[in-house]
Amino acid sequence: MKRGFSVLLIAVLMLSLAACGKKEKTTLVMATNAEFPPYEYYDGDKIVGIDAEIAEAVAKELGLELKIEDMAFDSIIAAVTSGKADIGAAGMTVTEERKENVNFTDTYAHASQVIIVKEGSSIQSPDDLEGAKIGVQLGTTGDIYAGDIKDAEIERYSKGFEAVQSVLQDKVEAVIIDNEPAKRFLEEAEGLVILDEAFTEEDYAIAVAKDNDELVDDINAALKTLKENGTLDEIIAKYISAEK
């Protein structure tokens, strides 16, 4: 009797464990830095923007509910690699350095790094940045690339807006930042201009943990669908007009 009971108990436990193993994922957790309009920013207490809407559309394609976690930009990759977040989407450029820690999906947007200076500045092109005092947002592509400028002194800020304000306050001579946020920041900062010549050209993609190839494939399939049915173009056009 005892042996029969033990066998039955083991069988019940195995079935219970199998049921737990089959528990389906219901939420897609996105790590972002909501200080980067028009890609992610707060509208009231809600995070909105291009990345937020694209992630929402991707989650819908995957049958998941999106949850967005706001954090410092330089914490996003760590959140993805540790499993705190499933994806990182924050106007994140694909770079070789970042690819050492995470995998990237197919790209979904093209962008450029631009240079913001005061009107009348002697800095008129990327070549003029040599030896200059430059502001960047910590951990961003601008931060990465600014380190290659000869004799430049780099000041790092936790928020892009703070970096831009530092030009007005004469704390730095120029800021390197993504083009679309730059245009939004300048709407609220008189006396600043964006140089005509871009600092870099780049592509944005979604960061996923190195060991999660299945999620990369699923997101790529979702992005392909969203590109083909026009959803991606609609989302981007909602925030970035052709006239800007």
pLDDT tens figures, 30-82: 999 999 999 999 999 999 999 999 999 999 999 999 999 999 999 999 999 99
Residue ranges of the alpha helices (H) in the chain?
2-21, 50-61, 76-82, 96-99, 141-146, 160-168, 179-186, 213-228, 231-239
Please name the residue that has the structure tokens 């304000």.
165
CATH class of residue range 112-202: alpha beta
Rounded CA separation 217/223 (Å): 10
Task: Give φ, ψ of 242 to 5 degrees.
Answer: -65, -20
Is the four-CA dihedral 11, 17, 21, 27 of positive or negative sign?
positive
pLDDT at 10 over 90: no
pLDDT of 242:
47
Tell me how crowded residue 32 is: count the other CB atoms within 10 A of its CB. Answer: 28
Average pLDDT estimate for 148-177: 95
**Is 227:54 a contact under the CB 8 Å cutoff?**
no
**Is 168:118 a contact under the CB 8 Å cutoff?**
yes
Tell me how crowded residue 43 is: count the other CB atoms within 10 A of its CB. Answer: 11
pTM for this model (two decimals): 0.76
pLDDT of 110:
87
CATH class of residue range 25-108+205-239: alpha beta
Residues of the chain with CATH 3.40.190.10: 25-108+205-239, 112-202
pLDDT of 3:
47
pLDDT at 177 over 80: yes
pLDDT band per the 50, 70, 90 thresholds, residue 243: very low
Rounded CA separation 76/88 (Å): 6
